[in-house]
């Protein structure tokens, strides 16, 4: 989620993450709702780290 997201309220994300202790949230600073468009490099790097971690769990 971007810290400037006007569609998804941070409290909603916090509630979802509280129920999923296996999730690690990441907030993109200076970004709104369209992460892949607004910050493609940071989005891909974060997604790559997540996928690498998921692959190790298989």
Give the end-to-end CA distance of the chain in Å, rounded to a whole number. Answer: 26
CB 38 within 8 A of CB 2: yes
Residue 2 exposed, middle or buried by CB count within 10 Å (0-12, 13-18, 19+): buried
pTM score: 0.77
Judged on CB neighbours under 10 Å (0-12, 13-18, 19+), 56 is exposed
pLDDT at 58: 66
Convert the pLDDT of each residue in 25-38 to its tens digit. Answer: 889 999 999 999 99
DSSP code, position 23: -
């Amino acid at each position: 989620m971007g810290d400037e997201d006007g569609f998804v309220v941070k409290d909603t994300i916090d509630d979802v993450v509280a129920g999923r202790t296996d999730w690690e949230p990441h907030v993109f600073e200076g970004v709104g709702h369209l992460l892949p468009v607004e910050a493609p490099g940071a989005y891909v790097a974060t997604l790559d780290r997540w996928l690498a971690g998921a692959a190790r769990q298989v």
